[in-house]
Amino acid sequence: CGGLTPDERASKCRFDMMSFSWLPPPCYDSELSEEFASLRQWRYYSDNEGREEIPVEQVQKGLQDLFVLYKHHLYHYSYMWRKLRRAAIRGGPIDGYIADTRHTVHCGHELVE
């Protein structure tokens, strides 16, 4: 969904709240996204100290950079691995974000530290 205007992107793609990326519908796992969204009341911030909270409705627009607490990152790692597994088992497409080897290595490293 890169290279599209914000309006085009909003009409043709879905914003994934756990990967913070715009995805074409075949790459968006709505069931898994809803599961993670229901786990807790996620909080998002405009600063890395967590002082300026951003309303979730604003985050869902996918228009700004943001920060999350470390615990959110741990859930993100789990989400991304589950998403990759589900796509592989179902024979579905795998988006470029989750297919990036560097990201997979990063997630694995962070989980064992």
| Domain locations in the chain as residue ranges | 6-112
Helix, strand, coil shares, percent, the chain, to 5: 50, 10, 40
Give the type of residue at 67.
F
Where does 1-101 show beta strands of DSSP type E? 14-16, 21-23, 44-45, 53-54
* CA proximity to 23, closest of 8, 33, 13: 13
Q: Give me the pLDDT at residue 2, please.
A: 66
- β-strand partners of 14: 23
Q: In this structure, what are the phi and psi dihedrals at residue 43, rounded to the nearest 5 degrees?
A: -125, 145
Q: What are the pLDDT tens digits along the chain (113 aa)?
A: 766 777 888 888 999 999 888 999 999 999 999 999 999 999 999 999 999 999 999 999 888 899 999 999 999 999 999 999 999 999 989 888 888 899 889 888 888 88
